[in-house]
């Protein structure tokens, strides 16, 4: 979740009434007017957990569908002269690679006018590459949903901004008000749009510094969480210096943001720990103890 033109220090949360669209409205009070927190927590955890699970299921289904459509489009794509030449060149290259020099000679001679000049694809999981060629991974999207939580009712966040989905700050163009409901598909669309903004901010931040996929993911999570303004040279001079020095260890050490409302927030501490592990070790696992996982989602 990002905040427009603010720093990471944000006001303390205020209680939200059900009429305001809080996705976790308070239950009816007990006789003495209070609600023991321990009575509410199990139900809230189950609701948060189920929303995240549903969101991830739909996210994966959409990714699978997109992959199938892309594959089908490639299979039914007309075999143009250019594609025919590329296929012939690929065949010649494969035969030569197998060392079949005698039997491959006729094929190689027929394909000889075609040069195999296309660059080999670079795998960002094993080799650093320019950030301009990277997009946030599906694994990072799922981790982000776990950290931010998924809310389908527009509510006011701790800073008072109307928010919905995976930490999406409602914009006038969204045509939504506090209390409105959205679908999982729209929540996914909002997240993809917000991630595109964060990706572009990371590309501006790192410049020509090459990154692994997991390093790019961690920086996108940082921008998504604290906002582009908070990673500026003015607000995060040490992070920017580490990037300028191309010091990856120093970059990892500058991914910690632990305070909200001027106080330490346990949720942000866990998220920072996870972000550092993603950047330094490509480890996307939730560092929270099992009994706390998804219990604190959306609080930080």
Rounded distance between C-alpha atoms, residue 283 and residue 55, angstroms = 22
Residue whose C-alpha is closest to residue 299's, from 170, 157, 182: 157
Q: pLDDT value at position 81?
A: 54
Q: pLDDT tens digit string along 172-219?
A: 999 999 999 999 999 999 999 999 999 999 999 999 999 999 999 999
Q: Looking at per-residue confidence, does 109 or 54 come out higher?
A: 54
Rounded distance between C-alpha atoms, residue 202 and residue 2, angstroms = 14
Q: pLDDT value at position 115?
A: 38
Rounded distance between C-alpha atoms, residue 83 and residue 8, angstroms = 52
Q: pLDDT value at position 92?
A: 44
Model confidence at 104: pLDDT above 70? no
Rounded distance between C-alpha atoms, residue 144 and residue 165, angstroms = 11
Q: pLDDT tens digit string along 51-66?
A: 889 999 998 888 776 6
Q: pLDDT value at position 13?
A: 40
Residue whose C-alpha is closest to residue 96's, from 77, 82, 81, 111: 111
Residue whose C-alpha is closest to residue 184's, from 202, 164, 211, 207: 164
Rounded distance between C-alpha atoms, residue 228 and residue 76, angstroms = 42
Q: pLDDT tens digit string along 121-156?
A: 678 889 999 999 999 999 999 999 999 899 999 999
Residue whose C-alpha is closest to residue 12's, from 153, 151, 160, 154: 160
């Amino acid at each position: 979740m990002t905040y427009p033109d603010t720093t990471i220090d944000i006001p303390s949360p205020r209680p939200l009434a059900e009429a305001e669209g809080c996705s976790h409205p308070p239950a009816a009070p007990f006789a003495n007017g209070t609600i023991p927190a321990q009575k509410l927590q199990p139900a809230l955890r189950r609701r948060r957990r189920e929303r995240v699970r549903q969101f991830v299921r739909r996210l994966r289904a959409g990714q699978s569908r997109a992959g199938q459509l892309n594959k089908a489009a490639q299979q039914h794509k007309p075999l143009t002269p250019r594609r025919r030449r590329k296929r012939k060149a690929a065949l010649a290259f494969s035969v030569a690679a197998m060392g079949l020099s005698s039997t491959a000679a006729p094929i190689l001679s027929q394909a000889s006018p075609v040069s195999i000049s296309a660059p080999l694809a670079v795998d960002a999981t094993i080799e650093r590459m320019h950030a301009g060629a990277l997009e946030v991974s599906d694994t990072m999207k799922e981790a982000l949903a776990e950290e931010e939580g998924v809310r389908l009712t527009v509510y006011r966040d701790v800073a008072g901004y109307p928010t919905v989905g995976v930490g999406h700050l409602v914009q006038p163009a969204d045509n939504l008000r506090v209390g409105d409901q959205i679908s999982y598909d729209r929540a996914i669309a909002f997240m993809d749009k917000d991630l595109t903004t964060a990706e572009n901010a990371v590309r501006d931040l790192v410049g020509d510094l090459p990154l692994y996929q997991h390093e790019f993911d961690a920086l996108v999570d940082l921008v998504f969480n604290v906002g582009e303004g908070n990673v500026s040279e003015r607000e995060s001079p040490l992070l920017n210096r580490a990037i300028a020095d191309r010091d990856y260890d120093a970059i990892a050490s500058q991914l910690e943001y632990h305070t909200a409302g001027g106080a330490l927030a346990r949720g942000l501490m866990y998220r920072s720990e996870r972000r550092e592990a993603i950047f330094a070790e490509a480890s996307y696992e939730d560092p929270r103890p099992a009994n706390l996982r998804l219990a604190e989602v959306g609080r930080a």
